[in-house]
Amino acid sequence: MINAPTQSTTLTSTPTTPLDPPSKLPPPPNGGLLAWLHVLGGFALFLNTQGLLNTFGVFQTYYATSHPSTSPSAIAWIGSTQATLLLLIGAITGPIYDRGHLRSLLVSGTSCIFLGHIFLRLSTEYYQVLLSQGILIGLGAGSLFVPCVSVLPSYFSTHLGLALGLAVSGSAAGGIMYPILLYRPLPRVGFAWSVRIMGFVSLATLALPLAVMQQRTKPPRARALLDRAALRDPHYCLCVGASLLAFMGLKLAFDIVPILNAASCFGRTVPNALADCVGPLNLIAPCCLVVAGCLFTMVGVDGVAGFFSGALIGLPPLSLVCLTKERAMIGTRMGMGFGVIGLGVLAGGPGGGAILGDGSEKLDWTGLWVFGGVSAGVGGLFYAILRWLRGGWG
C-alpha cells in the first residue's frame, strides 16, 4: 500500500495536537465484537444515507404521474438537493466530528431523516416536498455521512479496506430495500402510509449506530473549522478534484433500479477489500476509467456498469484516509473533500438534464452518456496522475 504523505498538517488557529498523546493512544483493535459492531453500524448509516437517496428514482416516477403539472426539471431538483446536501454539509459536520460530537451528529441526523418522512407524507405542495424531502432528509443524511467514513479508521488499520467496503455496501442494500418498501405498498395503502413505513424503518435501522457507535478518542481542545494545510497538499487537492469529476458522471446513475444497486454492492465491497493488499490509489484510477468506458458504450447498449460504479463509492473515502497523515483530522478533511465533491453532484444532475432535453424534442441520450463518460474519464486520468505522483508506476 502506498504510504501516507510526509508533510505535516497545520491548522488555521490553534496549534496542532493529536487526539491523545501517541504513548496513550491504543492501536486500532482490527477486530473483536465492538469493532465489527461499528462496521454493522456503518452499514446502517450508509443504508440510510446514500442508500435512502437512491430511492428518489421511484419518487420521481410517482411525482411525474401524480402531479403532471410539475415540470420534470423541478422534480429533479428535489433529488439533486438531497444528493448535494449529503456531501456539501460535510464541510461543517467534519470539524464537528473531529471535536468529539459523534453522538450529536447521529441524533440530529436520525431525527432529520425521520421527521423528513413524517412531514413528507403530509406535504401537498411542491415547496413542502422540497423542504421535507430535499432539504430536511438531505440535511439528515449529510449529518450522518461523515461518521459513516470517519469512525472506522479508528477501529481498523490492517483491515480498513474490507471494513469500509462492507459498511459502504449498505448504500447498495438501501438502494434495493427502500425502493421496494415504497413501490410495493403504494397501490394498496397509498403514498402517505408508504412514506410512513419508510420513516419507521429508517428510525429502526438507525437505532443500531445510536446504540453501539462511539468515538475512541476525543481532541483535548477545539480545532479550526478549516485545515489550510489540506489546501496546500497537491495530492489531496488532486484526489478531491478527480472525485468531483467522477461523481459528476456517476450522478447519471443515482436514479437507478434495485438490480443495479445489487450489482454495485459487490463493487462497493470487493475493491475495498483488495485495497488492503494493493492500496486504494492502485484501484481507483482503473475503476474510474472502466466506468467512463462503460458510460460511452451506453450510446449503443442498455445497461450500467454497476460493479465499477460501486467501486467509486467506496474507494474515494478510503483514498482520503490514505492521504491524511494525522488521524485527528480525518473528519475535517473528509468534510472539506466531500463538500467540494458535492458541487459535482449538483452540477451533474441539472447538467445531464439540460443535455437530455425536456421531451419537447427527441431526447439526446447520446449526449447524456458522452457527458458522463467524459466526466468520469477525466476524473480517472486525474486519479492515475495522483497515483504516479505518489509512487511512480511501480
Closest CA to 171 of 290, 260, 273: 260
Please tell me the predicted confidence (pLDDT) of residue 219.
62
CB 346 within 8 A of CB 307: no
Q: Which strand (E) or helix (H) includes residue 239?
A: helix 234-250
Residues 134-185: pLDDT tens digits? 999 999 999 998 888 888 888 988 888 888 888 988 888 888 899 889 888 8
Please tell me the predicted confidence (pLDDT) of residue 275.
80
Residues 262-286: pLDDT tens digits? 555 666 677 777 887 778 888 888 8
Please provide the average confidence, as pLDDT, over all residues in the chain.
Answer: 79
Residues 81-134: pLDDT tens digits? 888 888 888 888 888 888 888 999 999 999 999 999 999 999 989 999 999 999
Please tell me the predicted confidence (pLDDT) of residue 276.
77
The string of DSSP letters for 78-125 reads HHHHHHHHHHHTHHHHHHHHHTT-HHHHHHHHHHHHHHHHHHHHH--S
User: Would you place residue 212 in the very low, low, confident or very high pLDDT band (cuts 50, 70, 90)?
Assistant: very high
SS3 of 220, please?
coil
Q: Give the CA-trace dihedral at 33, 34, 35, 40, to 10 degrees.
A: 90
> For residues 284 and 351, which has the higher predicted lDDT (pLDDT)?
284
Q: Which CATH superfamily is domain 33-216+224-391 in?
A: MFS general substrate transporter like domains (1.20.1250.20)
What whole-number distance in Å separates Cα of residue 203 and Cα of residue 285? 37
A 10 A CB-CB count for 53 gives 24
> For residues 216 and 265, which has the higher predicted lDDT (pLDDT)?
216
What's the grid cell of residue 323?
Answer: 492521504
Residues 60-81: pLDDT tens digits? 888 888 888 887 778 878 888 8
Please tell me the predicted confidence (pLDDT) of residue 266.
63
- Residue 11 pLDDT more than 50? no
- The conformation of residue 10, written as its DSSP 8-state character, comes to -
Please tell me the predicted confidence (pLDDT) of residue 148.
83
Question: By mean pLDDT, which of 2-6, 288-292, 339-343 is the weakest?
Answer: 2-6
Domain boundaries, the chain: 33-216+224-391
CB 383 within 8 A of CB 288: yes
